[in-house]
Chains A and B, each alone.
Chain A
């Protein structure tokens, strides 16, 4: 898996965001069993305690459930996954809008730029 960790934020929160994206992005499906904390930690090259904390965050978000016999798995609750997915999108869009506004673009201009970019991508 592809992990990105930068200098500014706590490592565990970056990990939990990325794990959440693996789930909402469909890399791990609803109900799918997850690798152990240690396997995830080794894959990301991070401390297992830090990965543990990221996992706990996913549990409290309701994206991951712990089953006493089978270990951790992605929740079966697809509505919850979808809900988190929408929050993620909203967050990304807000960041984008903020940056565009900082560059002096109006909402209409932003819409225009977006439409153009999407059309280009579809044509290309």
Chain B
């Protein structure tokens, strides 16, 4: 098996006259938890959508698990979008059933175990849930797949510290050592401890890539500090 789960070669993506990603080269190994960091509008969501095959590059090529993005790569990629996409009228069991139908690597038992811990019942209706519970449910479903690549777009958006801990623990406990997790976020301090490495995006370009422990060992700095320096205003 190739060590690489994902590779971008000279990838550019434009929306009209705006260049969202500009000439991106990057290779990411299996078995890593990678933070995709940058301010709003730096290209994080575009990057994730390209990797998932929801968008196509204007130039350059993308390989996921040695293939071009398409139905086969989607079968090995588990994607958490940056917003809720479930219909309100659904019950939890409808959603779980949908995941079961769509993804052969989905484990309903695993999802049920995690829901039990949060007191979510399969008969519960989505529209009666709080925003935080919806976010957690969505993450549970995404992490209940045995994917090779998890793409999590802002998994800890606006949640409280307890929910954040639950989310990080869910990620740690459920990814396998052969799979890779890419987490996009602008809340660095919260996720730093779970990351192997970080990729910093600014205005559609990768301006820095760092191993979290190397940064601390050799420069005595946390990723949070680095981030503040790179993106300091003024």
Contacts and interface: CB of A to CB of B under 8 A. Distances in A.
Interface of A: 5, 7-12, 38, 41-42, 44-50, 53
B173 interface: yes
B216 A45 contact: no
A108 to B, nearest CB: 36
Nearest to A46: B193
Q: Contact size class for B?
A: 20 to 34
Interface string B142-180: 000000000000000000000001001100110001000
Query: Do most interface residues of chain A lie in helix, strand or loop, or is the interface mixed?
Result: helix
B216 A9 contact: yes
A8 B31 CA distance: 25
A17 to B, nearest CB: 14
Contacts of B220: 8-9
B105 interface: no
Given A45-B194, A47-B194, A8 B216 contact: yes
6 contacts: A9-B216, A11-B216, A45-B172, A46-B172, A47-B212, A48-B177
B194 A7 contact: no
A46 B196 CA distance: 10
A49 B31 contact: yes
B195 interface: yes
B225 interface: yes
Interface of B: 31-33, 165, 168-169, 172-173, 177, 193-196, 212-213, 216-217, 220-222, 224-225
Given A45-B194, A47-B33, A11 B212 contact: yes
Contacts of A44: 193
A11 B224 contact: no
Contacts of B196: 47, 49-50
A38 B172 contact: yes
Contact of A38 (B168, B173, B212, B225): B173
A119 to B, nearest CB: 39
B114 to A, nearest CB: 12
Given A49-B31, A49-B196, A11 B213 contact: yes
B172 A47 contact: yes
B188 to A, nearest CB: 11
Nearest to A44: B193
Contacts of B212: 11, 47, 50
A46 B221 CA distance: 17
Q: Which of B33, B165, B213 has the most CB of A within 10 A?
A: B213
A19 to B, nearest CB: 15
A31 to B, nearest CB: 27
A38 to B, nearest CB: 6
Given A8-B220, A9-B216, A12-B213, A42 B173 contact: yes
Listed residue (B193, B221, B222) with the most chain A CB atoms within 10 angstroms of its CB: B193
Contact of A41 (B172, B217, B225): B172
